[in-house]
Amino acid sequence: MSGQPSTTQPAPRLSFRIVFGAGAMLGPGKAELLEGIRQTGSIAAAGRRMTMSYKRAWMLVEEMNRAFRDPLVASTRGGAKGGGAQLTEAGEAVLANYRKLEDILAEAGAARIGALRSMLRDGSGGS
């Protein structure tokens, strides 16, 4: 074997939030919501996937749309054909940059995460 952690134990994961100031921030929850909107074409469906209320999902989308120079999500109201939502070009760019930063941080911190994991009482990565 290559010294990889046992498959029965979950691998540690790195989670981070970028705080821009004045209430503007981007973290794992908002990134997951953007991913869900991209995949489902719906703010409500993306929120449901995350066990989040429709109101909370909308509030987070509005917060992101206000925080960034260009809106991240474009939506259409419901009607005979139903509403929908999609990431804008800015939304795709913000999500791609956040995900790339996740990859960079995970790679750069892998040794330190491993050192911390080895110091856990049971060595399994439990919280």
Give Cβ neighbours of residue 70 (< 8 Å, ≥ 6 apart): 88, 89, 90
What span, in angstroms and rounded, lies between the C-alpha atoms of 48 and 46? 5
Are the C-beta atoms of residues 123 and 117 closer than 8 Å to each other? Answer: yes
Q: Residue written as tokens 């120079």? A: 69
- pLDDT tens-digit map of 43-100: 999 999 999 999 999 999 999 999 999 999 999 876 555 679 999 999 999 999 999 9
Find the mean pLDDT for residues 15-29: 93
What span, in angstroms and rounded, lies between the C-alpha atoms of 71 and 54? 19
Can you give the pLDDT at residue 107? 94
Domains delineated in the chain = 22-104 (1.10.10.10)
Are the C-beta atoms of residues 44 and 57 closer than 8 Å to each other? Answer: yes
Q: pTM for this one?
A: 0.83
